[in-house]
Chain A
Amino acid sequence: MPKKYETPLLDELEKGPFPSFVTEIKKAAAKSDMAADELGQLEKSYRDKRGYWKHGGIVGVRGYGSGVIGRYSSLADQFPDVANFHTVRINCTSGFFYTSEFLKEMCDIWDKYGSGLTNLHGSTGDLVLLGTNTENLEPIFAEFSSRGWDLGGSGSALRTPSCCVGPARCEWSNINTLDITYNVTQEFQDEMHRPAFPYKFKIKTAGCAVDCIASIARADLSIIGTWKGKIAVDQGEAANYAKKGMKIQEEIVNKCPSKCMSYDGKELKINDDDCVRCMHCIAKMTKALKPTGEKGATILMGSKAPFVIGATLSWVIVPFMKLEEPYDELKDLIRKMWEFWDEYGKNRERIGELVIRKGMREFLEFIGIDPVPQQVKEPRRDPFFFWTEADLQK
């Protein structure tokens, strides 16, 4: 019979309208000492207003430097079953599609070797297994790898690439996000499993500018689907939206960031030359508006949470890249970016921070991309274009 702790503070977190992680840990604690001790330690943390987890160290599976995050309790005497409580990251599928058969297998493996607690999915994208001890790491890896699964990225490495559901369920996707993610994952296995970067590097792919995966805020390399042609307007469907109560002028036209739309009560017009492909109008009027023409992606770099500097959003470096298998142009670009980072990056400096420190001009020169207006991040900012001595002699 697993241990039981009084948890008055955690119990409060079960009273709200939303699903509670406390309820789920309690369910796991009913059959796992490890989950029970986790609950006990968490209650103590809430009571003492401090964390008791130590992080990092020397854990992993043979040959890999990623995929296992060492976690240790600093209260091992009081909570011995979580003395080691390592996290295991399993490389997620593109778009997070699993069979029920796999999910059952995964849960069985995890009940056998770990706490039974999972996190589908962690913010990094991986299928996260929470809490096991050091001895069980190799058996867990063997169980998963024998079924064709692999560990994800962690540490100073390429993190497991992730993407939105893309064309699997969304007709607005301009690129095959699933295929891109799969290809990039396969291509850069070494960079994912054997950490050699100054710090972490995340790649996230969204099918359009709605950016359901929030790649613009969460990835060192954001790949966002876009198009080159016009937005086709079905005036009949636009009229239907108006009939059903949509205030097209207020909800669509006035909210267009580049003010490229107009509506006279009968006809919706778009000046496509001024459109910035934000997807706002299309997402609101899916039956009336549709992107046409060549499809591809905008490549951006450098978003991250606060660390050396504050939070940043990604910055356009390639306004349009045609993305088709085998994605050589994209892979070459990624390699050049890493080369720059390897050359100049400091320990624990994200690539975006490095570009801010060294300057976009130097970065673009190094990776061999010409400066273009779309790269200017905000009005009245230096467009990082300078004449070199050689240019002046021409």
Chain B
Amino acid sequence: MYELGEKSTGKKKLKSSDIQKTISADLSITRDDVKAALKDLVDEGKLIYTYFGGSFVEIPPK
């Protein structure tokens, strides 16, 4: 999930639902599992929510 965020940095802003769809399809896990993992990463500060006319999930700026 973090890698997905890294790859998209500077190219495309990812929505939470984009991440859920991509990861659940790639790893054959449920979207609820992806949501839980996403919540953990955000709680740890490894990913953050941003708002640019819509809400996105990004790697925090260094």
Residues of chain A at the chain B interface (Cβ within 8 Å): 56-58, 60, 62-66, 69-70, 154-157, 190, 194-199, 342, 347-348
The residues of A that contact B49 with a CB separation of less than 8 Å are 60, 64-66, 155, 194-195
The residues of B that contact A60 with a CB separation of less than 8 Å are 48-49
24 residue pairs of the A-B complex, CB under 8 angstroms, read: A56-B50, A56-B52, A57-B50, A58-B50, A58-B58, A60-B49, A62-B45, A63-B43, A65-B16, A65-B42, A65-B55, A66-B55, A155-B54, A156-B15, A156-B55, A157-B55, A190-B35, A190-B39, A194-B16, A194-B42, A194-B49, A196-B20, A198-B54, A342-B17
Contact mask for chain B residues 34-62; partner A; CB cutoff 8 A; 1 contact, 0 none: 01001100110100111111110110110
Most buried by A among B15, B38, B51: B51
- Assembled-state Cα–Cα distance A173/B38 (Å): 41
| Residues A58 and B54 in contact, CB atoms below 8 Å apart | no
Contact mask for chain B residues 18-45; partner A; CB cutoff 8 A; 1 contact, 0 none: 0010000000000000010011001101
- Assembled-state Cα–Cα distance A66/B55 (Å): 9
The residues of B that contact A196 with a CB separation of less than 8 Å are 15-17, 20, 35, 55
The residues of A that contact B53 with a CB separation of less than 8 Å are 56, 348
Starting from the known contacts A58-B60, A348-B54, 15 additional A-B residue pairs (CB-CB under 8 Å) come to A56-B50, A56-B53, A57-B51, A57-B52, A58-B50, A62-B43, A63-B39, A65-B57, A155-B55, A190-B39, A194-B38, A194-B49, A195-B16, A196-B55, A198-B17
- Assembled-state Cα–Cα distance A190/B38 (Å): 12
The residues of A that contact B58 with a CB separation of less than 8 Å are 58
Tier of interface size on chain B: 20 to 34
| Residues B42 and A63 in contact, CB atoms below 8 Å apart | yes
Residues of chain B at the chain A interface (Cβ within 8 Å): 15-17, 20, 35, 38-39, 42-43, 45, 48-55, 57-58, 60-61
Query: When the two chains form the complex, which single residue of A62, A156, A342 contacts B54, counting CB atoms closer than 8 Å?
Result: A156
- Assembled-state Cα–Cα distance A154/B39 (Å): 17
Most buried by A among B35, B39, B49, B60: B49
Closest A residue to B38 by beta carbon equals A194
Count CB-based A-B contacts (< 8 Å).
Answer: 65
Chain B interface, >50% SS class: mixed
CB distance from A61 to the nearest CB of B (A): 10
The residues of A that contact B42 with a CB separation of less than 8 Å are 63, 65, 194
| Residues B39 and A194 in contact, CB atoms below 8 Å apart | yes
A-B residue pairs, 9 tightest by C-beta: A65-B49, A195-B55, A196-B16, A155-B55, A156-B55, A56-B51, A63-B43, A58-B50, A155-B51
- Assembled-state Cα–Cα distance A64/B16 (Å): 13
| Residues A58 and B17 in contact, CB atoms below 8 Å apart | no
| Residues A58 and B20 in contact, CB atoms below 8 Å apart | no
The residues of B that contact A69 with a CB separation of less than 8 Å are 51
Closest A residue to B50 by beta carbon equals A58
- Assembled-state Cα–Cα distance A62/B60 (Å): 12
The residues of B that contact A66 with a CB separation of less than 8 Å are 49, 55
| Residues A58 and B48 in contact, CB atoms below 8 Å apart | yes
The residues of B that contact A65 with a CB separation of less than 8 Å are 16, 42, 49, 55, 57
- Assembled-state Cα–Cα distance A348/B51 (Å): 12
- Assembled-state Cα–Cα distance A347/B15 (Å): 9
The residues of B that contact A199 with a CB separation of less than 8 Å are 54
- Assembled-state Cα–Cα distance A157/B16 (Å): 11
Most buried by A among B45, B53, B61: B53
- Assembled-state Cα–Cα distance A60/B57 (Å): 13
